[in-house]
């Protein structure tokens, strides 16, 4: 099992290219299930979750391969079962449910690990698909869905703007009979990218990016070639890396138009973020970093996937910052690891009070999830001395070639084996 060894205190300086978006790539690749034809995706990040998605497509009968940032998916006869061994490693696997029901009129998908059928993240998925005519049973840990007469268009209002639910139902609605109206949908740029891909395959979708999406069902979707959008969370993480190290980074392929909430907070915290002909330039302002308040919200609010990384920035800022997590429970699991490095953070319920200005010191720490792992890498870059980040398989799920990118900008970071 690998870990990162980081010697902190080095200001980063250089150019980093932002990879394709993990959160866009996974549903877009999964959408190939609904397509009657070959599909080629470009700008796909080389990540564990992408490889897992490809394995799932192969198991389902769609011959798929990844090479040099491109994924090819061949047309073919499909099975209907997504097995537990794959679904347990990646919750996004449940996104095959909607397109399988639409294309095959039956799907058997393992429940994501730790989820009951009446709890997040699948309850809204199932309720919406039931309105479209699907029937579900829970059998031996699997969701078994059937719609022998095919899916029918419906008027659906989500209780909460769920990203996965919006994606699953959007894919299903493309092949449903008649019109489907989705209200209170998630508005994330990755959903817009999914809708744009589906439209490129012949779907008729309008309203993506707003709170209401309308879909006119079509008989079939054809294959196409499609480029995945850049990763706004990876880009935000690198912007913060410039801030916490007191360096200067130029980000190429940075989707700054999709990052307003993050960029506004970074500027309020004292960072200079400039758009140039070459990319987006990030550095600390002359007056240093200062504390700001952060509330995570569904898009276009501040993303929960940037909360942990921004907390590290607040550890390096002057003053006290209140950070409120309004999307996910247990999203402060990185706090105790940051405290081990000298951070002054106190958590009460869904709020964390960060007292900035304490010197971060290198320490052995452990990643509990993807974004917590990214935050610990940032803390290691900012800290004095050596930091060892363990369980980095979490980080590998969302950051392509992280060591190489940071090293090229001057970071002293390397991947090592735990037994070294």
Range of the domain at 331: 2-19+230-417
Q: Looking at the structure, tell me whether residues 100 and 128 fall in a common domain.
A: yes
Same-domain pairing of 155 and 54: yes
Please tell me the distance from the alpha carbon of residue 1 to that of residue 153, in angstroms, as a whole number.
48
Domain end position, chosen among 207, 227, 247: 227
Q: pLDDT tens across 59-101, in order?
A: 999 999 999 999 999 999 999 999 888 888 787 889 999 999 9
Same domain, 178 and 288: no
Among 196, 227, 258, identify where a domain stops. Answer: 227
Neighbours of 152 (CB within 10 A): 17
What's the pLDDT score for residue 121?
63
**What's the number of CA atoms in the CB half-sphere (13 Å) around residue 299?**
22
Cα separations (Å) of 68 from 15, 43, 62, 71, 289?
A: 21, 9, 20, 8, 39
Do 148 and 194 share a structural domain? yes
What's the CATH code of the domain at 288? 3.65.10.10
Same domain, residue pair 36 and 147: yes
Residues 62 and 100 in one domain: yes
Catalytic position from the list 96, 115, 254, 316: 115
Other CB atoms within 10 A of residue 42 CB: 13
What per-residue confidence (pLDDT) applies to 339? 98
Rounded Cα–Cα distance for residues 117 and 113 (Å)? 11
Same domain, 214 and 262: no
Domain final residue, candidates 183, 203, 227: 227
Task: Report the domain count for the chain.
Answer: 2
pLDDT tens sequence for the chain (420 residues): 899 999 999 999 999 999 999 999 999 999 999 999 999 999 999 998 899 999 999 999 999 999 999 999 999 999 999 988 888 878 788 999 999 999 999 999 988 754 434 344 688 999 999 999 999 998 888 999 999 999 999 999 999 999 999 999 999 999 999 999 999 999 999 999 999 999 999 999 999 999 999 999 999 999 999 999 999 999 999 999 999 999 999 999 999 999 999 999 999 999 999 999 999 999 999 999 999 999 999 999 999 999 999 999 999 999 999 999 998 877 899 999 999 999 999 999 999 999 999 899 999 999 999 999 999 999 999 999 999 999 999 999 899 999 999 999 999 999 998 664
**Pair 13, 117 in one domain:** no
Same domain? For 242 and 212 the reply is no
Distance CA 314, CA 292 (A): 8
Same domain, 14 and 159: no
Instruction: Please state, as a whole number, how many other Cβ atoms lie within 10 Å of the Cβ of residue 278.
Output: 10
Q: In what order do the strands lie in the sheet with 280-284?
A: 13-17, 248-252, 280-284, 271-275
DSSP 334: T
DSSP designation for 10: P
pLDDT number for residue 220: 98
Residues 189, 278 share a domain: no
What pLDDT shows up at residue 115? 41
Please indicate whether residue 315 is annotated as part of the active site: no
User: Does residue 234 sit in the same domain as residue 218?
Assistant: no
Q: Which residue has the tokens 């029901």?
A: 101
């Amino acid at each position: 099992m690998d870990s990162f060894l980081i010697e902190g205190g080095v200001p980063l300086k250089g150019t980093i290219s932002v990879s394709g978006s993990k959160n866009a790539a996974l549903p877009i690749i999964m959408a190939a299930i609904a397509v009657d034809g070959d599909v080629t995706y470009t700008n796909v990040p080389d990540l564990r979750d992408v490889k897992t998605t490809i394995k799932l497509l192969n198991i389902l009968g769609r011959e798929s391969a990844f090479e040099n940032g491109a994924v090819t998916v061949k047309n073919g006869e499909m099975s209907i079962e997504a097995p537990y061994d794959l679904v347990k490693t990646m919750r996004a696997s449940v996104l095959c449910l909607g397109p399988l029901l639409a294309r095959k009129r039956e799907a058997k998908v393992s429940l994501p690990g730790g989820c009951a059928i009446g709890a997040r993240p699948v309850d809204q998925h199932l309720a919406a698909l039931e309105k479209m005519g699907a029937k579900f049973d829970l059998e031996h840990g699997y969701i078994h869905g059937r719609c022998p007469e095919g899916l029918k268009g419906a008027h659906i209002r989500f209780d909460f703007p769920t990203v996965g639910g919006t994606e699953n139902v959007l894919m299903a609605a493309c092949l449903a009979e008649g019109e489907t109206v989705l209200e209170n949908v998630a508005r994330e740029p990755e959903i817009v990218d999914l809708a744009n891909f589906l439209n490129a395959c012949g779907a008729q979708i309008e309203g993506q990016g707003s709170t209401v999406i309308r879909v006119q069902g079509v008989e079939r979707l054809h294959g196409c070639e499609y480029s995945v959008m850049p990763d706004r969370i990876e880009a935000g993480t690198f912007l913060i890396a410039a801030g916490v190290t007191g360096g200067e980074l130029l980000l190429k392929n940075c989707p700054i138009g999709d990052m307003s909430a993050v960029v506004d907070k970074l500027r309020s915290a004292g960072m200079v973020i400039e758009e140039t002909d070459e990319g987006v330039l990030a550095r600390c302002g002359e007056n240093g970093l200062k504390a700001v308040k952060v509330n995570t919200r569904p898009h276009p609010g501040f993303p929960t996937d940037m909360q942990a990384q921004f907390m590290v920035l607040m550890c390096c800022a002057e003053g006290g910052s209140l950070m409120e997590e309004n999307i996910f429970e247990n999203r402060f699991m990185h706090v105790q690891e940051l405290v081990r490095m000298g951070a002054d953070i106190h958590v009460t319920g869904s709020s964390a009070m960060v007292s900035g200005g304490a010197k971060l010191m290198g320490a052995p720490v452990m990643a509990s999830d993807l974004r917590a792992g990214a935050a610990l890498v940032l803390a290691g870059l900012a800290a004095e001395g050596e930091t060892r980040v363990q369980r980095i398989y979490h980080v590998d799920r969302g950051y392509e070639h992280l060591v190489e990118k940071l090293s090229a900008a001057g970071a002293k970071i390397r991947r090592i084996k735990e037994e070294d």
